[in-house]
Amino acid sequence: MSTEQTPDLDPRLLEILVCPLTKGPLVYDRERQELISEKARLAFPIRDGIPIMLVDEARPLDEDEGSKA
């Protein structure tokens, strides 16, 4: 999914973003361009540098995913 030159996320934006469902922290997966909410087991996509913080656009995490953080 990741394009060659993904515009990097504004660190000031990253600092204030939380999971829209749980209000818990997000982990930024730069390679996959996703913001991962462990608590909600959802990955929010970042498309063209725009975080899509919509629950019905998020990808449910696989069972074994996301435990590394």
Partner 1 sequence: MQTASSSSPLIFDRRALRRQRRRAARRQPACDFLHREVAERLDDRLGDVLRDFPLAVELGCHHGALSEKLAANPRIGTVFGCDIAPDFARAHGHLAADEEFLPFAENSIDLIISNMALHWVNDTPGTLAQIRRCLKPDGLFLAALIGGETLDALRGCFMEAELDIRGGAGAHVSPFIDIRDGGALLQRAGFALPVADLETVTVSYENAFSLMRDLRHMGEGNVLAGRQKHFTRRDVMMKTAALYQQRFSDADGRIEARFDILFLIGWKPHASQPKPLAPGSGRISLASAVENMDESDESGC
Task: Give yes or no for residue 18 binding partner 1 (CB under 8 A).
Answer: yes
What is the distance between the alpha carbons of residues 16 and 26, in angstroms, rounded to a whole number?
A: 10
Binder among 28, 32, 41, 52 for partner 1 (CB under 8 A)? 52
CB closer to partner 1 out of 52 and 61: 52
Min. distance of Cβ 67 from partner 1 in angstroms? 23
Task: Give the integer Cα–Cα distance in Å for 66 and 69.
Answer: 6
Of the candidates 48, 7, 38, 14, the one whose C-alpha atom is nearest the C-alpha of residue 28 is 14
Q: Which residues bind partner 1 (CB under 8 A)?
A: 10, 12-13, 15-23, 47-48, 50-57
